[in-house]
Structure 1
Amino acid sequence: MDPAPPTPGRMRRLRRWRPSRRTGIVLGAVAAVLLVLWLLFDWNWFKPPLERAVGAATGRELRIEGDLDVDLGRTITVSAERLRLANAAWSKEPRMGSAERVEIDIAPWPLLALRLRMKEVRAVRPDIRLETAPEGAGGNWVFGDGRAKADPGPPRWRLDRLWIEDGRLRFTDAAQKTDIDIALSSVAPAAREGRDAGSPVRVDGKGHWRGAAFRLEGRAASPLDLADTDTPYRVDLDARAGATRASASGTLTNPFRFQAFDLRMKLSGQDLEDLYPLLGLALPPSPPYALDGRLLRSGDLWRYEGFEGKVGDSDLAGDVKVDVSGARPMFTAQLLSRRLDFDDLAGFLGAPPSTGADETANPAQKAEAARRAASPRLLPDTPYDLAKLNAMDADVRWRAQKIHAPSLPMIEDMDARLLLDTGMLRLEPLNFGVAGGDVRATLRMNARGEPIDTRARIAVRGVELPKLFAQAELAQGAVGRIGGDIVLHGRGNSVAAILGSADGEVGLGMGRGRISNLVMELAGLDIAEALKFLLTQDRQVPIRCAFADFGVEDGLMTSRALAFDTTDTIVVGEGTVSLKDERLDLLLKPRPKDRSLLTLRSPLRVGGTFKDPSFRPDMAALGLRGAIALALGSIAPPAALLATFETGPGEDSDCGGQYAR
């Protein structure tokens, strides 16, 4: 069927919409312009307005020195090359950040609602420099005027994922002598982390923490998470500073302020003293250590909770708190050792620990032990560091349930409390279980001035004689308890200097007991009696009492009363002990209460040094008896025995009531 012919009205409308020649020229010109624009369009034309927009938002100049390009599609990809962002005006470094290339994937539909959703940002060789402000408030990561808006409202942009290739992050805090330089690159998240964890980064860097050099490696959450300062930032890092190593796994809140974190931390090193430049904690020298606990910080309060480990050959567990809100850190600790190796305490005295085959010590301590072994002196002469004693305050309670001391088996346990307040150190109490009894001490060291002024009071109570000399066979079966008091006041910056200048008094005594008769006979060189007990059977001799009373002045101990009284023999003595020169000069005079043949009774001289003491008969007196015996023997040989015959002039001592109990 043929189509209907056009009506007159339709013909008029067709004639009305027929393009004129002018319209055709305009449409052709528009098409030509669009073609030219399509052929000549350059996205770089948008660089100046983009740079101005970023500058207005951040207060920092942004320069795009390379090309700007946009790929349109279901995802819009914006790429820019050689970006440079200016630093804060107060910084000496002109540039805060740069990148060789940045690509941004943008979802197009949110743009219709004037919202920017960035699916992913990929940065190639980004270099970011973060630094704290000179005033200590904030840093160059605070943009604009740093003041929060009254009601900023919900953000109109969102970033889902950040991928870093060959990046670099530097952080500087000049006031804390801290600088960190880290290389970081994004890695695929572990299966356990899930896809929502973002892209964590592999970290490898170095720098200085509080002036001490360190190295750092491990993994951390995506740097994108740093934008939310209220969300914990996950880290798993391993750091080394010299011989000190710390492994931390946990979370940091607002890492750049470093004010809140919860980490599982393993800490190990060659010497706890090495923590002073790192943490500002003036801990005493120690053997190598390894500790594992939970490290937390909330503002100015640090806590190392539930830690366990070893220091030297001793186990150590407990809780530590450090409050840094005051002028000095306040170190508070509750410590427990189930088995304490006694020589691990040597650092408190300025001496190294033992360095035998089964002992733990670092190379420096082994060298110091070798130096001390070659020295003729025994008392530690390493000076205390007054700056460290004034660097922090402390309240430490340390209990040891059992003490391992092969050379001092009579030491059983320990309970000590150390208090340090503006250079005043107190050990109140310092108690040891010793040989079934107690040694209770209080010690005060005033390091507020130089030299250190030290006062010590030591009370010895109920120490059992056989346990005190447990390794001496002749002491087996002995009975008796020793007690006394020691009061000393000295000035000096080392143990040797303090004792070498000490004034005070030393008094020790023992009440009734028993001791081997063989010991007493050998002490007096009574040959006949000693042979009798050696060939037959030793017997116990009752002890009436024993006492030693010394006055101390300028490091010299001078005997005021010295006696050991049994029913068989009384030994009286006199002499001096020099704490300054570490020399002994004592004369002990045995006086038997029985009669004996073949005795060479003579005074016994205790001499030598603390490190190499000597115990020998007074050769002058012994030689006199020998000369008399030889003279008599030349007249009639049996008469020579008269020179060795002891008539027993000894008398009971006046023990008094103090030690007779």
Structure 2
Amino acid sequence: MTETPPQTRAKSHPVLIGLGSFLLAIILLIIFWSWDWFVPLVNSRASAILHRKTTIEHLHVALGRVTTIRVENLKIEQPKTFAQEKNLFAESKELAVSVDVWSYLWHRALHIPLIALTDPKADILARKNGENNYTFTEDGKPAPANEKKTDQASSLPDIGELRITNGALHVRHDPLQADMQMGVETTRPEGNNRGSLRLTAKGRYAQQPITARFVGGTVLSFVADKEPYPVDLFVQNGPTTATLKGDVVHPLTLGGARLKLHFAGPDMSLLYPLTGVPIPRTPAYSIAGTLNYARDHIVFKDFEGKMGTSDIGGTIEVNPHEKPMSVQANLHSKQVNLVDLGGFIGAKPNKTKAEEKAEAKSNTVLPDTPINIPKLNAVNAHVTYRGAHIENQKVPLDNIDAEFFVTDGAIDLKRLNFAVGQGTLASSATLKPDGKLFDTTARIDFARIDLSRIMQATADSKAQGIIGGHMTLKAKGNSIASLMAAGNGGLTLVLDQGGDITAILPNVLGLQLANAVLSALGLPSHTDIRCFIADMPLRNGIVSTNTLLLETGEARTLGKGTINFRTNKLDYALTTRSQKPTIASLPGAFHITGPIKSPTVLPGAEILGRAAAATGLGFVFPPLALLPTIQIGVGDKSLCSRAVQEVNTNPAAGIAPGALSHARGSAGKQKVPSSTKTRTVDDKKAASSQNKKTGQKHMTPAEVRAAWEAKLKK
């Protein structure tokens, strides 16, 4: 038997032992290997990157050509600035990520076939001071612009599928006054079905309850940007509802969209929190159109719908990237009711019961809704609007043509024109912000407006005539009422061939007041208005009277007094005199006083005494300087034009016209004929003699009022 030399055994033994030990170590490492050994390293690196404590409980790696990394019980705490919050920033029962290692090694392309989240939860918060918990910086504020990546889309990896199971999201965004709970689910791609993302939301947005449902393409198809991204959205925010359906083309590069938008609600002003575009109050509406967008603007085009009883359509283009936001709107209506546009001039469509009660108690007759300056500062706008046919229960006109600009809070109304038969009601205005007020300049021109066209909606109204003139206003205020209360300017108005007086006054003044005025005037129950002229300046909110003339077939009535828009009160007197010898002299002056909304008609004592007091004969008739306004406004062959010339050359019934006021800006004053002065003196003597003959005694206001009420009851 041959024995192995001892030297040979000794030399081979250490090698075998080393090899065996190495193999044994590998076997033991394979048997007892745990990826959890790397958990502390993963936690440390993730916390440093996210700037908040991040932990996982377990780490699993399945090696292969496509390697899958899976973590359990992922928890991401709130950043330091939100440490007092009870909920975690994010957590997930399981997160799995598959990586195509082969693609990366050979092509240096990072392809991630799958990211899967099981039971993920997130708590997204934003404060009014600009801090939020979803910006991964030290202080929770957005990173400086120079630190942001300019092309985020190009840096994103190629991700095949993002799978979310039973996701829950809480969003509280204080600047938007939003607090919502959201559910998030995805469906898997199958065949031609690329899968979908489904969201549900419930909570509050802009201090209104909100409910939303969204079904779209997967998040990754949005990121991949290779195919049109499908969108199906329903939102109900308070009483406002909106639906959006269609495709978004190249969503990351803003390539465009094919979306149908429909929204409806009781008031368009409620859209401001949703759109950022300030709109005045409106009646209920329902509008649908096509929504498209590009890199620098959003277009809502070819929309049609209803607003109140009016139809509305057109195109609106918004550039949300400009500060303030830029809006271009080209709007039109086939038929519009002016009541539906009331919110655009400070009126209140769809008044609440509380507003109606408050309005009934108020003495203010003009809209006092403040113009919202902060909202105007939120947008620069250019708006054109044309209504082909206007219909209103109180003021039916023919059409409307308007254009205005809003620039840095200032309003420039280029035109607001109404066609009325063969005439035009044209207006323009500028409103420049001055603190909480607007420095306002406005002008309205009346040219040959057919009164019957305006009054035609009134049942059985035979009102007719041609209206001409103009109105100017310069003031500071924040509503129509406040502007008039502080205004300067005036009104010059002519009504030619006005038709039956009983067809006009009840519609203008109201039935009760009109009947009292007609009774006080002593005019026949039916008489034609040949001419009405009003030339009334406005100074610091108070309207005074240069001229107020009402001429009928039987008499002339002259007015004198003030309308105070500061106190909303009237202090006016009217005096009527006969023009024909066959008509008995009509009574003297009577007064209209009290609130503009409900004034009191109270006659002077000479009316009740049936004595024609001669002291009321010194009238101030319309000046010849009004003839150009009359001729342009109603035509140079008008009865008013003849009346002005007649009353200045041959006063009716021997009544002296008195001193004539001169045209604005004229150098001198017109001379009063000496015969006029003589007649005025004789009139005063006659008045004294007449008073002595009749034995008229002075009556107290209470006696006058009682006698007048008794007269009206007869």
TM-score, normalised by the number of residues in structure 1: 0.72
Equivalent residue, structure 1, for 2:378: 391
State the alpha-carbon separation in 2 of the partners of residues 41 and 587 from structure 1. 111
Equivalent residue, structure 2, for 1:494: 479
Equivalent residue, structure 2, for 1:331: 327
- The alpha-carbon deviation at position 135 of structure 1 amounts to 6.8
Are 1:319 and 2:310 counterparts? no
Structure 1 residues 474-553: aligned runs within 5 Å: 476=462, 480-511=465-496, 513=497, 515-516=499-500, 530=524, 543=530, 545-553=531-539
Contact 2:450 2:467 in 1 (8 A): yes
Contact 1:586 1:606 in 2 (8 A): yes
The verdict on how the C-alpha distance between 1:81 and 1:351 changes in structure 2, with shifts beyond 3 A counting, is: same
- The alpha-carbon deviation at position 99 of structure 1 amounts to 2.4
Contact 2:363 2:568 in 1 (8 A): no
Amino acid at match of 1:166: N
The verdict on how the C-alpha distance between 1:408 and 1:546 changes in structure 2, with shifts beyond 3 A counting, is: same
Amino acid at match of 1:420: V
State the alpha-carbon separation in 1 of the partners of residues 609 and 246 from structure 2. 82
- The alpha-carbon deviation at position 268 of structure 1 amounts to 3.0
What value does the CA root-mean-square deviation take over the aligned residues? 5.2
Contact 2:529 2:550 in 1 (8 A): no
- The alpha-carbon deviation at position 207 of structure 1 amounts to 7.2
Equivalent residue, structure 1, for 2:164: 164
- The alpha-carbon deviation at position 80 of structure 1 amounts to 4.0
State the alpha-carbon separation in 1 of the partners of residues 299 and 544 from structure 2. 50
Are 1:131 and 2:122 counterparts? no
- The alpha-carbon deviation at position 581 of structure 1 amounts to 2.2
SS in 1 for 2:341: helix
Amino acid at match of 1:167: G
Q: Which structure 2 segments of 5+ residues have no match?
A: 1-11, 125-132, 506-514, 631-635, 638-714
Contact 1:247 1:266 in 2 (8 A): yes
Contact 1:232 1:252 in 2 (8 A): yes
State the alpha-carbon separation in 2 of the partners of residues 233 and 219 from structure 1. 11
- The alpha-carbon deviation at position 412 of structure 1 amounts to 2.8
Contact 1:486 1:507 in 2 (8 A): yes
Contact 1:565 1:653 in 2 (8 A): no
Equivalent residue, structure 2, for 1:293: 289
State the alpha-carbon separation in 2 of the partners of residues 313 and 491 from structure 1. 34
State the alpha-carbon separation in 1 of the partners of residues 71 and 335 from structure 2. 65
State the alpha-carbon separation in 2 of the partners of residues 407 and 520 from structure 1. 13
Count the aligned residue pairs. 588
Amino acid at match of 2:482: A
Structure 1 residues 14-53: aligned runs within 5 Å: 40-42=31-33, 44=35, 51=42
The verdict on how the C-alpha distance between 1:147 and 1:622 changes in structure 2, with shifts beyond 3 A counting, is: closer
1:306-328 C-alpha deviation (Å, 9 max, x unpaired): 22222333221111122234431
The verdict on how the C-alpha distance between 1:458 and 1:28 changes in structure 2, with shifts beyond 3 A counting, is: closer
1:412-449 C-alpha deviation (Å, 9 max, x unpaired): 32111121222221211011223652211111112143
The verdict on how the C-alpha distance between 1:43 and 1:195 changes in structure 2, with shifts beyond 3 A counting, is: farther
State the alpha-carbon separation in 1 of the partners of residues 502 and 318 from structure 2. 58
SS in 1 for 2:357: helix
Contact 2:47 2:54 in 1 (8 A): no
Are 1:81 and 2:72 counterparts? yes
Are 1:65 and 2:57 counterparts? yes
The verdict on how the C-alpha distance between 1:524 and 1:271 changes in structure 2, with shifts beyond 3 A counting, is: closer
1:451 to 414, 420, 437: 437
The verdict on how the C-alpha distance between 1:518 and 1:650 changes in structure 2, with shifts beyond 3 A counting, is: farther
Contact 1:475 1:516 in 2 (8 A): no
Equivalent residue, structure 2, for 1:345: 341
State the alpha-carbon separation in 2 of the partners of residues 90 and 233 from structure 1. 37
State the alpha-carbon separation in 2 of the partners of residues 175 and 372 from structure 1. 34
SS in 2 for 1:378: coil
Equivalent residue, structure 2, for 1:417: 403
Contact 1:525 1:600 in 2 (8 A): no
2:416 to 402, 413, 430: 430
Equivalent residue, structure 2, for 1:183: 183
State the alpha-carbon separation in 1 of the partners of residues 243 and 162 from structure 2. 26
Contact 1:527 1:598 in 2 (8 A): no
The verdict on how the C-alpha distance between 1:653 and 1:107 changes in structure 2, with shifts beyond 3 A counting, is: closer
Greater displacement, 287-296 / 651-660? 651-660
SS in 1 for 2:609: helix
Equivalent residue, structure 2, for 1:11: none
State the alpha-carbon separation in 1 of the partners of residues 278 and 423 from structure 2. 33
Structure 1 residues 453-472: aligned runs within 5 Å: 453-470=439-456
TM-score, normalised by the number of residues in structure 2: 0.67
Amino acid at match of 1:398: Y
Q: Which has the higher helix share?
A: 2
SS in 1 for 2:58: coil
Equivalent residue, structure 2, for 1:100: 93
Contact 2:253 2:295 in 1 (8 A): no
State the alpha-carbon separation in 2 of the partners of residues 527 and 273 from structure 1. 47
- The alpha-carbon deviation at position 241 of structure 1 amounts to 3.5
State the alpha-carbon separation in 2 of the partners of residues 462 and 305 from structure 1. 38
SS in 2 for 1:368: helix
Contact 1:338 1:401 in 2 (8 A): yes
Contact 1:118 1:159 in 2 (8 A): yes
- The alpha-carbon deviation at position 258 of structure 1 amounts to 8.8
Equivalent residue, structure 1, for 2:693: none
Structure 1 residues 173-322: aligned runs within 5 Å: 182-187=182-187, 195-205=191-201, 214-228=210-224, 233-251=229-247, 263-322=259-318
Amino acid at match of 2:499: I
Contact 2:430 2:441 in 1 (8 A): yes
Greater displacement, 518-527 / 495-504? 518-527
1:468-507 C-alpha deviation (Å, 9 max, x unpaired): 443668863x653110011121222222111011111211
The verdict on how the C-alpha distance between 1:211 and 1:225 changes in structure 2, with shifts beyond 3 A counting, is: farther
1:168-211 C-alpha deviation (Å, 9 max, x unpaired): 3567889988887632012367xxxx734433122123578789
Are 1:582 and 2:568 counterparts? yes
1:220-260 C-alpha deviation (Å, 9 max, x unpaired): 32223344367654332223444433322345578799997
Equivalent residue, structure 2, for 1:375: 362
2:598 to 612, 633, 648: 612
The verdict on how the C-alpha distance between 1:205 and 1:259 changes in structure 2, with shifts beyond 3 A counting, is: farther
Contact 1:352 1:365 in 2 (8 A): no
The verdict on how the C-alpha distance between 1:171 and 1:275 changes in structure 2, with shifts beyond 3 A counting, is: same
Amino acid at match of 2:167: G
The verdict on how the C-alpha distance between 1:239 and 1:549 changes in structure 2, with shifts beyond 3 A counting, is: same
1:324-373 C-alpha deviation (Å, 9 max, x unpaired): 344312222111122222122222333312xxxxxxx3xx7443233212
Amino acid at match of 1:342: L
State the alpha-carbon separation in 2 of the partners of residues 131 and 97 from structure 1. 10
1:585-624 C-alpha deviation (Å, 9 max, x unpaired): 33232222234578764445444433224556x2522211
Amino acid at match of 2:487: A
State the alpha-carbon separation in 2 of the partners of residues 527 and 204 from structure 1. 71
State the alpha-carbon separation in 2 of the partners of residues 572 and 172 from structure 1. 68
Amino acid at match of 1:305: K
Are 1:621 and 2:606 counterparts? yes
Amino acid at match of 2:325: P
SS in 2 for 1:367: helix
SS in 1 for 2:398: strand
State the alpha-carbon separation in 2 of the partners of residues 125 and 291 from structure 1. 40
Contact 1:528 1:596 in 2 (8 A): no
Greater displacement, 270-279 / 305-314? 270-279
State the alpha-carbon separation in 2 of the partners of residues 173 and 520 from structure 1. 58
Greater displacement, 344-353 / 21-30? 21-30
- The alpha-carbon deviation at position 576 of structure 1 amounts to 1.7
- The alpha-carbon deviation at position 549 of structure 1 amounts to 0.8
